[in-house]
Structure 1
Amino acid sequence: MNQPARILAALLIGLALGIAGGRFGWALAVNVADPIGSIWIDALRMTVVPLVVALLVTGILRTAGQSRGGGLALKAVLFFVALLWLSTLISAFLTPALLAAWPLGTASRAALDSAMGQAPAVTTSAPPLGDFIRSIVPTNPLSAAVNDAMLPLIVFTTLFALAAVRLEEGARATLENLFSAIEQAMLTIVGWVLWIAPLGVFALAFVLGARAGTAAIGALAHYIAIVSAAGLAAWALAYPVALLGARVRLGAFIRAVAPAQIVALSTQSSLATLPTMLKCCERLGVPVAVAGVPLPIAVAIFRVTSPAMNLAVAIYVAHLTGTPLSAATIAAGAVVAGTTTLGTISLPGQVSFLTSTTPIALAMGVPLAPLGLLLAVEMIPDLVRTVGNVTMDVAATTALARHEGALDASTGA
Structure 2
Amino acid sequence: MQCHAAVTQIKLPAGWTFAALIAGLALGWLLSETAASATALAIAGPVGSVWLRALQMTIVPLVAALLVTGITQMVATARAGPVARRTLLTFFIILFAGTLFAAFATPALLEVFPIPGRAEAALAAESATAQPVPGIGEFIESLVADNVIAAAAETAMLPLVVFFVALGAAISRLEGVQKDVMLRLFEAIGQTMLIIIGWVLRVAPIGVFALAVSVGLASGGGAFAALGHYILIISGLGLVILLAGFLLGILASRRGPIGFTRALVPSLAVAISTQSSLASLPAMLQSCRLLGVRETTADFVLPLAVALFRATGPVMNLGVAIYVAKLTGVELTPQLMAVGIAVALVTTIGSVSLPGAISFITAIGPIALAMGVPIEPLAILVAVEMLPDIMRTLGNVVMDVAVTATVDRNKPRGPDPSASSGRANISTRT
Residue in structure 2 matched with residue 354 of structure 1 by the alignment:
361
Contact 1:361 1:367 in 2 (8 A): yes
Of 102-111 and 14-23, more deviation after overlay is shown by 102-111
Residue in structure 2 matched with residue 196 of structure 1 by the alignment:
203
Contact 1:336 1:363 in 2 (8 A): yes
Find the partner of 1:165 among 172, 179, 182: 172
Residue in structure 1 matched with residue 410 of structure 2 by the alignment:
403
Matched, 1:144 2:142: no
Residue in structure 2 matched with residue 97 of structure 1 by the alignment:
108
Residue in structure 2 matched with residue 14 of structure 1 by the alignment:
24
Query: What displacement does 1:31 show?
Result: 1.0
Residue in structure 2 matched with residue 410 of structure 1 by the alignment:
none
Contact 2:102 2:318 in 1 (8 A): yes
Give distance in 1, aligned partners of 2:60 and 2:321: 17
Q: Assess, with a 3 A threshold, how the Cα gap between structure 1 residues 136 and 244 changes in structure 2: closer, same or farther.
A: farther
Matched, 1:207 2:214: yes
Query: What displacement does 1:128 show?
Result: 4.2
RMSD: 2.2
Contact 2:122 2:215 in 1 (8 A): no
Structure-2-length-normalised TM-score: 0.88
Find the partner of 1:50 among 58, 61, 74: 61
Contact 2:20 2:205 in 1 (8 A): yes
Give distance in 2, aligned partners of 1:112 and 1:156: 33
Contact 2:277 2:354 in 1 (8 A): no
Contact 1:33 1:206 in 2 (8 A): yes
Percent identity over paired residues? 47
Q: Where in structure 2 are the equivalents of 1:44-193 lying within 5 Å?
A: 44-105=55-116, 107-114=118-125, 116=126, 127-193=134-200
Residue in structure 2 matched with residue 218 of structure 1 by the alignment:
225
Give distance in 2, aligned partners of 1:372 and 1:107: 19
Amino acid at match of 1:164: I
Contact 2:155 2:369 in 1 (8 A): yes
Give distance in 1, aligned partners of 2:143 and 2:30: 47
The alignment covers a number of residue pairs equal to 403
Spell out structure 1 runs of 4+ moving beyond 6 A: none
Deviations 1:187-207 (A, max 9, x none): 222222112111100000111
Unaligned runs of 5+ in 1: 408-413
Residue in structure 2 matched with residue 321 of structure 1 by the alignment:
328
Residue in structure 2 matched with residue 253 of structure 1 by the alignment:
260
Q: Assess, with a 3 A threshold, how the Cα gap between structure 1 residues 283 and 117 changes in structure 2: closer, same or farther.
A: closer
Query: What displacement does 1:248 show?
Result: 4.6
Q: Which structure's residues are more often helix, by fraction?
A: 1
Q: Where in structure 2 are the equivalents of 1:322-337 lying within 5 Å?
A: 322-337=329-344
Structure-1-length-normalised TM-score: 0.92
Deviations 1:317-345 (A, max 9, x none): 11011111111111111111110110012
Give distance in 2, aligned partners of 1:166 and 1:248: 43
Residue in structure 1 matched with residue 312 of structure 2 by the alignment:
305
Contact 1:246 1:400 in 2 (8 A): no
Query: What displacement does 1:127 show?
Result: 4.7
Query: What displacement does 1:17 show?
Result: 1.5
Q: Assess, with a 3 A threshold, how the Cα gap between structure 1 residues 118 and 271 changes in structure 2: closer, same or farther.
A: closer
Give distance in 1, aligned partners of 2:119 and 2:193: 36
Unaligned runs of 5+ in 2: 1-10, 415-430
